[in-house]
Structure 1
């Protein structure tokens, strides 16, 4: 997915880009939100492909799970994802209150 208005930067020969996949549950979660919000969340998910662990507080490892799960802050919404090498699986997309209840 290419974002409009995105300027190309010189690619590092050591940079690994990841593929991002949505689970069926995450797709159903996105269908609940308005198109504008869903597009904002998808744009944030697409940025994970170029930089799976950006600096800052947007990404956090969730505690208490057998396999590592991570949380991405996308505005007032939270994206739960798993990373397997160069593959990122989006597990859930929840509003902040729903995320706090579930995780």
Structure 2
């Protein structure tokens, strides 16, 4: 997905609109001081634009169990490798658009 398309989608959605989803919920449950509604909502919006619902549910588990992310990253499974590529794209986009 091109960055310009992602930026256009943010304008269409409006940055104040919070959409509850698997990523948003997992983010808020971490208990980290940086995990607030604005940041978690932003990350969810990026997830909605870059990941399928199934990928979102899988990625949300990484918030609770970071070792799971490492296992997927190191896996030789073709499906895990494909998921990891999508996840990295999502993570990079979320970092670009949601960091202060």
TM-score, normalised by the number of residues in structure 1 = 0.32
Q: Larger helix proportion, structure 1 or 2?
A: 2
TM-score, normalised by the number of residues in structure 2 = 0.32
